[in-house]
Amino acid sequence: MHSVVLTKGVPDFREGQVSFDEDGHLERGDTPTVMNPNDKFALRAALQTKVRHGGRVSLASMGPPGYKEILQEGMRDVYADDLYLLSDREMGAADTWATAMTLATGIDQFEEEPDLLFAGFKTADGETGHTGPQTAWCLDWPTITHVVAFEVDETERTIRAKRLVEGDVSEIETVEAPLPAFVVTDPEFEASYRTARERLRYKDFRAETQERAAAYEDHLTVWDHEDLNLDPDYIGLDGSPTIVAGVDPIPKAPSEREATMVDPDEMDPVFEELQPFAGAD
């Protein structure tokens, strides 16, 4: 089984790390960047797949060169066999769509086609949660979100997952999809190892990955747009159908968030609008 996990860096919102200015707005320069905490659940899900079925876990991100350390963090704190950073200036300022395009191309680039693609549920800096599903859409893979537990059937080449319906912990459904598939783990995801052999393997892998993380650059591949054979017009800012019109500074942790329901029918025109950009193949 080859699993690829997507991650990104976010400001470290933990007490003592994060810094806000007088108006209570995040000071990005003074706040260290860390791996999106929710992505660690995705990485744990990939590790569980490796423990149970063997294979390999690749951790990938698109972002500035400094994201190397975010990849190292994932390798050290959870697990990775190898790291991939999609990084060059042309990819900069991409919106979620152009990011997804780039990531999908990167995933296509692996010599061994991945069986599973994992991502965490939303990033901690208030991002949309689009990038993952859009990447899966570009790859034309089934997507299962809010996954809290799963099993892979290697012979049938399927995945059976328990997911929270509407992200609600009180309602859980079981779904099945053919591989390759895209899995978005919920923060409620918990890896489960019920045999001693699995736990011993897990222990071996954890020891190995910590050792590997000390020399992580030996396991890192950096791809730029040329390596991926990407036309600069389709990536980065130029390839972004949406433009960030203005940036609201990230306010100090709001105690509650408000969600507005969207009528799916109203979204159709938006999808149509975006359609031409998806015609990569």
Partner 1 sequence: MTDDYEHYEAVVVGAGPGGAAAAVQLANNGVETLVLERGVESGSKNVSGGLIYAEESAPYTIDGLFPEFRAAASERPVTNYYLHNVAGERVKTFDVTPLHEHDTEWSDAVLRRKMDSWLEQRVHEETRETGGGLLTGVRVNGLLREGGEIVGVTCDELEPITADLIVAADGVNSELARDAGLMDWEEPDEWFQGVKAVVDMPAGAVEERFDIDEDEGVAHLFSGDLFEGARGGGFLYTNESTLSIGTVFHLDSIVDESVEPQQLLDRLLTHPLLAQWLGDDYTELEYGAKLVPDSKKVANPSPHRGRLLLVGDAAGQMQAQGPIIKGMNHAVTAGALAAEAFVEARSRGDPTDAGERYEHKLESEGVMAKLRPRRYELAATLGENDTVTSITDSLLQSPLGRIGVRAADKLGVLDWGYTSPFLAMMMPDTRTPYVTMPRVIAEELGTRVTDESTVEPPALDERIGDLTYDVDDPHIELVDESYEASGAAVTACPVSAEDFGGGCYRAETIQTNGSTERVVSLDTQPCVECGTCAVVAETDWDHPPGGKGVEFKQG
Residues that bind partner 1 (CB under 8 A): 194-197, 199-200, 203-204
Cα torsion 147, 187, 258, 128: sign: negative
CB of 52 to partner 1, least distance (A): 14
Tokens 């036309």 map to which residue? 231
Tell me how crowded residue 208 is: count the other CB atoms within 10 A of its CB: 12
Distance CA 171, CA 121 (A): 17
CB of 103 to partner 1, least distance (A): 36
Distance CA 53, CA 55 (A): 7
* Nearer of residues 194 and 257 to partner 1, judged by Cβ: 194
* Nearer of residues 89 and 203 to partner 1, judged by Cβ: 203
- Return the amino acid letter for 95: D
Residue 150 main-chain phi, psi, to 5 deg: -160, 160
CB of 73 to partner 1, least distance (A): 23
CB of 195 to partner 1, least distance (A): 5
Residue 216 main-chain phi, psi, to 5 deg: -60, -25
* Nearer of residues 157 and 199 to partner 1, judged by Cβ: 199
Distance CA 178, CA 151 (A): 12
* Nearer of residues 14 and 203 to partner 1, judged by Cβ: 203
CB of 196 to partner 1, least distance (A): 5
The tokens for 204 are 């071996």
* Nearer of residues 14 and 199 to partner 1, judged by Cβ: 199
Distance CA 45, CA 102 (A): 23
CB of 174 to partner 1, least distance (A): 21
* DSSP letter for each residue of 185-232: E-TT------SHHHHHHHHHHHHHHHHHHHTGGGGEEEE-TTTTT--G
* Nearer of residues 141 and 202 to partner 1, judged by Cβ: 202
Distance CA 244, CA 263 (A): 23
